[in-house]
Chain A
Amino acid sequence: GENVEQHPSTLSVQEGDSAVIKCTYSDSASNYFPWYKQELGKGPQLIIDIRSNVGEKKDQRIAVTLNKTAKHFSLHITETQPEDSAVYFCAAPFTGGGNKLTFGTGTQLKVEL
C-alpha cells in the first residue's frame, strides 16, 4: 500500500520566517495530496491540496509544491505568525483508490515571538 513519510517531526521558527514541511510517497499512481492543520483538541482542518496535473498551488501565505518524478510534495508557509503554530499532516491516497487516505506522522510547528 501507499507509504507516506513526513519530515521534520518538529519545527521551530521565528515569527515572520518561512516554514517548509516535506513528504514523500511511494505509489507513482497517486494523484491527490492534501495538507491538514490540527490545533490542540480539534480535528484536522484541510488547508490546501494539490492534484498531480499541477506542480504548485498557492493560497495567500500557504503554498504546496509537487514533484511527481521524485515522488515528494512540500508545504510552504511564508511570513509565519503565532497562530500558525499547530500540527500539520500530509496525506496521499491509498493504493487502489476508494477515496481513502494514508497520513504522514505529522509535524509540530512552533512559531516563536
Chain B
Amino acid sequence: SQTIHQWPATLVQPVGSPLSLECTVEGTSNPNLYWYRQAAGRGLQLLFYSVGIGQISSEVPQNLSASRPQDRQFILSSKKLLLSDSGFYLCAWSGRGWGTEMPQHFGDGTRLSIL
C-alpha cells in the first residue's frame, strides 16, 4: 500500500533563517506531488504542484520554493523565513489520471512556527 511521510512534525525557527521540509512517498511511482499551507482555522491553499522530477509549478507568489530531486521526494524550502510563513504545511500525492481526476492523499503535516 502507499504511504506518505513528512518531517519534521513540528519546527520552530527564527525570522530570517532557512527552511527545508521533506516529503517522501512509498508504494507508488510517478505520483503527482503537492505542497499546501493551512493557516489556523482556514482551508488549504495549494503552494506547489509537481508532475515529475524537476517539474514544479508555483500556484501563488511567495517566499518559498519547492524541488523534486527524485520521483517520490518533494522538498519545500526557503532562504529566509518571514513571520507570515508560519502555518501548517501539508504534502500530498495522487496517481496519474490521464484526464480523470485522481484522489489526493495527505501526510500528517509540519507545524511551522516563526519567532
* Interfacial residues, chain A to chain B (CB-CB below 8 A): 31-32, 34, 36, 41-46, 49, 51, 89, 93, 97-106
Contact = CB atoms under 8 A, between A and B. Distances in A.
A85 to B, nearest CB: 16
A44 B46 contact: no
B51 to A, nearest CB: 8
Contacts of B109: 41-43
Centre residue among A46, A51, A99, A105 by max chain B CB count within 10 A: A99
A36 B38 CA distance: 14
B102 A44 contact: no
A98 B99 CA distance: 8
Given A45-B106, A46-B105, A89-B43, 11 more contacts: A32-B101, A41-B108, A41-B111, A43-B92, A43-B109, A46-B103, A100-B46, A101-B46, A106-B41, A106-B42, A106-B43
Contact of B44 (A32, A44, A49): A44
A22 B70 CA distance: 39
B105 A103 contact: no
Contacts of B77: none
Interface of B: 6, 32, 34, 41-44, 46, 49, 57, 59, 90, 92, 94, 96-97, 99-109, 111
A38 to B, nearest CB: 9
Contact of A99 (B43, B94, B105, B106): B94
16 contacts: A32-B101, A36-B106, A41-B109, A41-B111, A43-B6, A43-B90, A49-B103, A89-B44, A93-B101, A98-B49, A98-B57, A99-B32, A99-B102, A99-B104, A100-B49, A105-B42
A112 to B, nearest CB: 20
Contacts of A104: 43
